Each structure stands twice: as structure tokens, then as C-alpha cells.
Structure 1
């Protein structure tokens, strides 16, 4: 076995593909004339999929800092695309919802995503794409379980204080 890392190892390929896909999406959004930054577009789409979630949960799902999300939310709210509502279970928290005004913009962003993915997945048949998606979902579930396992000792330590 060689001591040199394999640049085509699964982990490296996944990281490269994710980075390149994000970059391609950002270029598309930046040139689509939607009036949003790529970060704002990603945020709006994520809110639409997590309708009514807390700001902190959205930030975690997006893998960004809460303050970065807050900046995106401020702009999206000023444009009338989202609204923050108090969380009935926690007065300090806000729940985030899209507004009806966001519908057409979300559809435009979705069109950009679909066209990009059609280009990225050209030459791969529907059955293969479904298999890839299923395997990636399994990897995601395994990683979520790993995160939960690694968080358990910290939670136990905090509970013992």
C-alpha cells in the first residue's frame, strides 16, 4: 500500500464534486439576474424546504454561522421574501417562513438548479442517478449518526455540571 493519498479516493471525489457544484451554482445565480446573491438564493431555497424552522436550525443545515444567516435573512426580509415569526415554544427564537412574494423567485432559482443538474448529470441514466442519490443519502445518514455519537459525550458532560 502506497503512503501517498489517492486523489480519486471517495472522500476526495465527494469533496471536489460538492465544491465544484457549489461554485457552478453560485456562478449561475450571479449571472441569472435574479437580484440575489448566491448565498441569499441558497438561503431562500433552504427556507422553502424547511418552512417554519428556527434560524439556528437553518444555519446548521446550511453549514453556515448564525450571524451569516442573519445577514441573509435581513436582506430577504427587506425584499419581502421571508418573514420571521416568534416561536411559541421559545420567546427568544424566531421561526422563518417564505412569503407569497417569494414563489416566483424560488421557481426561478429552482429552474437554474434543474438546468445545472441536467448538465452535470448528462450521460448518466435515470436508474444510475437514483442509485447515486440513494447511496449519497445513506452516506448522509451515516454522517448524521456519527455527529450524534460524537455529540453525546459533550451533552453528557454538560448535563453533569
Structure 2
């Protein structure tokens, strides 16, 4: 399809739909997690810690992975630590660095959140076939790859 000849409103429809689905998904997840006493942002921190076999990361590395600033991450970690889901420890290799370590309580809440998330995903995709999901995933992966390339080009050309 040649988007240069498409009416302007239709050119941006996919972008609006992606944004709306993402926003609505966040809203539903936040409401579903509320009884657990944890936010989607805190879940994101715990999920990324769980990607490492040791369930820990250096705080600056975690900020980079999450693509958030140190101050924003610090507030999230404060709340997670106060709830007993993580601990911050000195890094043995660099005394100035802090390691963020998921506790057993953090692993337990993450498991509950993952179960809740799986239920929400099943309900969200209820009327969508597996083939349609695969096609949508493929399209989104290609769009993401292209946007990463475009971002890199823009950074290179602006710097």
C-alpha cells in the first residue's frame, strides 16, 4: 500500500490503534494488580530482575534495561525494598555500585503477577486465532526493528 496517496487520517490509524491498545492494556493490568498491592512499574522491575538466573543486577544496568532514569528507578526500588520484594547490596566488584537482588518474597509476588498476567493475556486474545497472534507479533517485531534503525540514524545524523 502506498501511504503517500492515503488520506491523512488513515495514514496514522495504525499508530493510534497501537497507542490505544497499549494504554488500555496498561489500565487493565494496573486495575487487575491493585489487589496484590503492586504496580505495573514495580512488576516491570521484578520481571527484568528475573531474566537473570541470579535474580539480581547492578542498579545502573537495571536503569539502562528499563530505559528509565536513576531517580525514577530509585523511587521504584525504595517502594519495592520497603515491601520486602528486593534488597540493595554493595557490589563485591565495585563498592560504589549497588546490586538489586530479588528476595524470596519478590519471587512469590512475581509468580502471582505472572499468573494474573497470563489470565489477562488469555482473556485479551480470546477472540483472536493463534495465526493472527503470530502475524501481529511478526508485524510488530518488524516495525520495532525498523524504528530502532530509524532512531539510530536520527541519533547519528543529529550528533
Alignment of 1:134 onto 2:138:
yes
TM-score, length basis structure 2: 0.76
Alignment of 1:117 onto 2:147:
no
Alignment of 1:70 onto 2:74:
yes
Alignment of 1:45 onto 2:56:
no
C-alpha spacing 1:148/1:43, structure 2 compared with 1 (3 Å) = same
C-alpha spacing 1:47/1:151, structure 2 compared with 1 (3 Å) = farther
Aligned counterpart for 1:101 among listed residues 92, 105, 113 = 105
Task: Tell me the equivalent position of 1:17.
Answer: 21
Shift of 1:143: 2.2
Instruction: Tell me if the contact between 2:26 and 2:40 (Cα under 8 Å) persists in the aligned partners.
Output: no
Instruction: Tell me if the contact between 2:49 and 2:102 (Cα under 8 Å) persists in the aligned partners.
Output: yes
Instruction: Tell me if the contact between 2:56 and 2:99 (Cα under 8 Å) persists in the aligned partners.
Output: yes
- Per-residue CA deviations over 1:62-90 (Å, capped at 9, x if unaligned) read 45443122111112123332233445666
Mapped partners of 2:45, 2:124: distance in 1: 22
Alignment of 1:81 onto 2:85:
yes
Q: Identify the range of structure 1 (78-87 vs 136-145) with the bigger mean alpha-carbon deviation.
A: 78-87
Aligned counterpart for 1:6 among listed residues 3, 10, 26 = 10
TM-score, length basis structure 1: 0.75
**CA-based RMSD:** 2.8
- Per-residue CA deviations over 1:2-51 (Å, capped at 9, x if unaligned) read 76423862111111111111111111111xx2222333233222332354
Uncovered stretches (5+) of structure 1, i.e. residues with no partner? none
Uncovered stretches (5+) of structure 2, i.e. residues with no partner? none
Match of 1:5, SS?
helix
Mapped partners of 2:128, 2:7: distance in 1: 33
Instruction: Tell me if the contact between 1:81 and 1:99 (Cα under 8 Å) persists in the aligned partners.
Output: yes
Alignment of 1:27 onto 2:31:
yes
